[in-house]
Structure 1
Amino acid sequence: MVEYQISFQKKSNPLLLVLKDKMNRQINSIEELDNSVKYELLTRLNSMKNHTKLCHGDYCPDNIIVTADAKGNIKEITAVDWVHATQGNASADIANTFLLLKLQFGDKSDIPEKYISAFCELTNTKRSYVNEWLPLVAAARLTKNKEEEKELLEQWINVVDFQ
């Protein structure tokens, strides 16, 4: 197995992993990926801007607690389970959540699209920029070795479709 070593950035917070470093290790660990695909993914990862924003890493409906009043009005929203938190690019975290929503709700639901569109609109982020992270987070997610996710994740890894 060929392992590509790419150094991304100095850690500005020694208590958090750097997202790009974590993804580099994950992508390199996937034995099923062809080396040329790994190279393309890691080249893309290296080209992404370095950020030090707090990223949840597993932001999905299962990790959200919503508190509502008796009338059903939302009073508080809390994200829990920060074990996968890293410092990095918020667009990568959004792409990861989009894929998690796709895995959870499937293609018949518009929830993943509404989620990513709302993020892009509220943050003035181009959708194409978030899309650039999709193959990367899909490859990183493959390391979870969940057979039921493999087919969808492999579809998203095709880096040519996202350039």
Structure 2
Amino acid sequence: MQLSDDKVELARRHNKVVYRDGDRIVKVFVPTKPAADVFREALNLARISESSLNTPQVLEVSQVEDGSWALSTKYFPGKTLHDLMVEAKGTPKFDELLEQFVDLQIKVQDTEPPAALNPQRDKVVRMIGRVKSLDPSARYDLQMRADRLRNGHSICHGDFNPTNVIIGDDGEVMICDWTHVTIGLPDADAAMTYMLFTLEFPEAADQYLSLFSKKADIPVQKIRYWLPVVAAAELSRNRKENEEFLRTWIDVATDYE
């Protein structure tokens, strides 16, 4: 894959740089990113595109000049819901956008899942197992708690946050970044979103949790039950800047059993 000289950098993360290059979006991963992970992301996109949800169209998976792997998808013009919420902070419009976000997450979870999505339980148990810095007894207890995820049958985005929702110029909505999509429990997916809000948009985290609980008719206690599990899974990504925060959540006491 060759990027043009007119490419524009949109975002930079710990393992990738995202560009707009003409009518496509290109994620260029770090050289250490395994090819299997990049192709798995493209496969997840292909699978979720079989549903009724509006998702990015995969164009190409190949290597760039330095040998790093890249994934390109069709460009969708618009603004992220995160940017719109930042602009609307402190106004009634913010509440409207948050409600739209929650309604969209529930819509995803209520959508008939396509075949062959990976089970949420298997993914989370595997991720927790990689966190060797956790006490082995604590790690085992968390994996046993995660075993209950086997009962879920909903589409769970796995990284549902306002930066992954784009509102088009005409109001059309696109949901991006399906790297972590699984089939599982909505309350565990909401726990992950609540954790991401607390990390990246803390002033809206509790408002999100309360709104999701009411609209999805899921008790807050059930969502909080999964916080230590999703925090332990997130630890496996080795993002040092979040490690202290995540470890405090692993010890969160919950009332739900």
State if a TM-score over 0.5 links the two structures. Answer: yes
Say how many residue pairs are matched: 143
TM-score, with normalisation over the residues of structure 2? 0.52
| Contact 2:228–2:250, Cα closer than 8 Å, also in 1 | yes
Shift of 1:46: 2.1
Once residues 158 and 245 of structure 2 are traced to their aligned partners in structure 1, the CA distance between those partners, rounded to angstroms, is 19
1:4-42 residue CA offsets vs partner (Å, 9 max, x unmatched): xxxxxxxx9652110011111011110100011112212
Which amino acid in the other structure matches residue 124 of structure 1? D
The alignment-based identity, stated in percent, is 36
Shift of 1:101: 1.0
1:89 equivalent to 2:181? Answer no
1:80 equivalent to 2:176? Answer yes
Bigger relative contact order, structure 1 or 2 (CA pairs below 8 A, ≥6 apart): 1
1:162 equivalent to 2:241? Answer no
TM-score, with normalisation over the residues of structure 1? 0.81
Shift of 1:48: 4.8
Alignment-derived partner of residue 209 in structure 2:
116
Q: Which runs of 5+ in 1 are unaligned?
A: 1-11, 70-74
1:103-145 residue CA offsets vs partner (Å, 9 max, x unmatched): 1124xx1x11111111110011100000011100000000111
User: Which structure shows the bigger proportion of residues in strand conformation?
Assistant: 2
Q: Residues 93-112 of structure 1 correspond to what in structure 2 (within 5 A)?
A: 93-106=189-202, 109=203, 111-112=204-205
Which amino acid in the other structure matches residue 146 of structure 1? R
Alignment-derived partner of residue 7 in structure 1:
none
Once residues 50 and 13 of structure 1 are traced to their aligned partners in structure 2, the CA distance between those partners, rounded to angstroms, is 17
Alignment-derived partner of residue 43 in structure 2:
none
RMSD between aligned residues? 1.8
Which amino acid in the other structure matches residue 135 of structure 2? D
SS in 2 for 1:62: helix
Q: Which runs of 5+ in 2 are unaligned?
A: 1-112
Distance 1:48 1:22, change over 3 A: closer
| Contact 2:155–2:184, Cα closer than 8 Å, also in 1 | yes
Displacement over 3 Å in runs of 4+: none
Once residues 222 and 175 of structure 2 are traced to their aligned partners in structure 1, the CA distance between those partners, rounded to angstroms, is 24
Q: Which has the larger radius of gyration?
A: 2
